[in-house]
Structure 1
C-alpha cells in the first residue's frame, strides 16, 4: 500500500490522522467559533458605525474543524512540493497542537475586530495578518511578494480607498504612506551694523550731525519727508543722544532717538530701500515706594536724607506750599511721609513717578494730600490743596482808585505808581483774607497805617493797607474769608478805604484782571471716585507709619 501512495501523500495522511487523534484525546480550554458559524464582517462600513460581530449560535465546540485542519495540511503539502528544502518548517506548522491552532484562530479574529474600529487600525491589522499568513504559508519571498503584497505604486490609491470606507482584503499588506515635512526655509543671515552715537551739542543741527556721521543731505531729506513722528528730529535738544546704525557700505540702516526711558523713536530702512518711522514703547511696570523724614536742620537736608530726589523734594513743597511757608514755617522735629511711584522696565529701575499721597506735620498741624486722576492734589475730603482767592476782599461801595503804574498821587501831586486798588467803604467794614495763608506782617507805619501782609504760597502775596483795626498777628495762619481787620483811614490817605495789592512772584499785578488760581472741590461722580482711593491711600500711610514706629 505504501508503494501505491507518493511520499508526500503518506506524510499528509499521517499528519491528518495524528491531528484527529489529538483533537479527540486532548480537550481544548478555549472556545472557538467554526468558520461556518462566523458572520462576515463588512470592513467597508465607517469606523464609527462598525460593531464587533459575535456568534449567535451556542453550538460552538471546543474542537477544531477537521476540514479546516485538512485544508491547512494540503496547503502546506503544496508548498512543500515547490520548496523541498523547507520541509522542517512545514512540519513544524503542521505539528501544532489543537489548542495552539485554536489560539491562532482567536488571535486573528480579535485582530479583525480591532481593525473594524477605525480605518487606520484596519490597515495595521491587515499588515499583521498578511505577515502571519506569509510566514506560515509561503517560504519563497519572491512568491509572497507576488501574491500577497500590494505594489508601492498603488499605495496612495489604496489608502484613499481605506479612508473612504472601501472593502479591505484580508491577508493583503497595505503599505503606510508617510508624509515627510518639507525642509524649513533657511533663516536669513544675521547682519552686523556699525553703531555711531552722537550727543547733541549746543548749536547743533540735524544737517551738521548727519555730516559728522558721514551721511548725505539726501538721506536727511528722505527722513524729514516721512512727517509724523519723524518731525521730532527737528526739535532735538543739547544732551540728547542719537544712535546711527550703518551697514558695511556706510548706509544708514536704523536711527534711534530715545524720547524717554521707555519710548524710542526709530527710523529704519525698508525692503524698498526707503525709510519708515515707528515708536518703540517698552512695557512700564509701576511700583509703590515710600519715604519718611524728620527735619533737624532744613527741609531740603531732611529730604536728601530720606533718599528723595531733588524733583521729589520740590514737588512735595509745591503740594503743601499753600498751607506751609517752607522758608519761614519749618521747625525742628517737623516730619513728612511720602508714597510715590517707581517705574521699572524689564525689572530694571527706570525712574520715579508721581507722588500719590503725602503727609506733612508742621508745628503740630497735620496736612495730608492725595493725588486724583486729574493730576491735582486734594485733601482726603476732596478739597483742593491749591487754594483760590477772593477777587475782592471787602464789600465796597465803589473803587476810588484803580491799578495804575503812572498815577498822579492825590496828596503829593507827584507821579507815583499805584500798585493796587482802592475800595471805598465805610469805616469799620470787615476786611477778609483773600485766601488761605500765613500772616507774614501785621503792624503800623506812617504811610500804610495799620496793615496786614499774607503769604499764600511761594508765589502769591496779598497786602491790606489803611486798616482801622487789625485782628491777626504775625505768624498766624488764616483761612480764606477770615476777618483780618476793618476798613479805616490810617496812614497817608484822603478818606476811608482799603488799599489792596496782589503780588505774583514779587511782581505787582492788577487784582481785578490777574488770572487767579481756581479751587473747586470735587463733586458728584468725581468725588465718588476719589473718596475710596483717598481712604485707601491714607490707610496705607498710617500702616506704614505704624510699621516704621515698630521697627524703631
Structure 2
C-alpha cells in the first residue's frame, strides 16, 4: 500500500507527451477501430459462407443454383464449359486456302517469263518442266489460259492448261516434285452429210458446200487415178459427201473422217467409200488406189524437166536422154516411196549424188537422185508413202531438185504417164460387209 501511493501520486501528476486534445482524439479513434474489428466475422466463418453462382439467362428466364436442382446435382469437377478448350486458340489466325487464278498468255511470252511475272521461283520452274516430259509447255500460244493454284507461301500447288477442246494438262505438287497428268474428255463421232453442185471450179463449189481445204485435197487424191476433178467435172454436176466429226460436249474438235463421196457427172456415178481396212474402194469394192502413187512428194512441186529421151544436157550440152522427171524442190523436203518394196541401194555417186533405189517387184523399180539425207538402208522394207530421204542438190546438179525415175524391166519410162498396176480389190466376206456398209451410207445421203 505504501508502494502504491507514490505511483498514484505520480499518475496524478502525469502529463501526456502530446497536447491533451490530440491525445484524446487518438484515444477515441483507437476505440472506434477496435469496436469495428470486433464486429467482423472470423476467417473460418468467411470460408464457410455459401457460394452464389450466377448462371446465364436461359430461354425460360434466369436460373441460379438455388432454384435449379438439376444443376446442383452435377459434380464440381464436371462444371466445365464444353468450348473452354477451343477458346484458348481464338486469337490464332487461320491460314487461308490456296486460291485459283487465271493467266492469259500474251504474244511473245513463255513459261519462264510467266513465272517471273508471278514471282514463282526458278526451282519451281525447273521442276514443272521436268514433269512435262512431252514438252507441251514449250508450245504455249497467245490466248491460252493457265490456271494456277498458289498458296500463301507463293508455292505453286497445281497448274492446269487446256491444250485443246478435249485435252487438259494438269501438274500437281507432290512431295516437293510435280506430277503431270493428261485428262481427256469423252468424245463421240457424229455423221454429217454435205451436198453441193458444181458452179465454177470444183474446189470453190466444195468450199461453198462446207468442206475444208484438207478434205477437198483428200477427195482429189482419192480420184487421181479415176478422173481429173478440175477438168472432167462439168457445170451442174452434183456431189454428196458423208463425213463424221469428233465431238466433245456438242463442240467439234476439228478432227473429221471422210466416210464416202459420190459424184453424178454426165449420167454416170463415180464414188469412193471407206472400208474397215482403212482403204477406200468404189461402189463395187474395187480399189481406188494404184499399187503406186504418181508423185514421190506430199506437195505438187513444179516439174522443172520432163522425161525426154532426146534432151540436150544443160551442163555438157550434149544430147543425152533424160530418163526421169525433175521436181524443183527446196533442200530438205521429204521424199516418199511411190510403192511398196525393198531398198536395193542407199548410197552416193559422183554424178547421181546421194540416191536411193527401191525394187517393187521382179519388173518394176524406182530411183531417187540428188538427195541431201538418207532415211533408209539397203534391205529395208518400205510402204507406199513412207519417207525415205530428204531432197537436196548433191552430185552433178544445177540447182536443188529431185530426179525421179520409174523403170520397168530396167528400162526407163515416163513416170507421169505410165499405167501403174491397181491395188487388190475386196473379195469374199470383206466385200460383202463393205457393200452392206455402202448401202447404209447411201441411205443416209439420200435422207439428208
TM-score band, normalised by the shorter chain?
0.3 to 0.5
Q: Which has the higher helix share?
A: 1
Q: Which has the higher strand share?
A: 2
- The two structures have a TM-score, normalised by structure 1, of 0.40
Higher relative contact order (CA 8 A, sep 6+): 2
- The two structures have a TM-score, normalised by structure 2, of 0.48
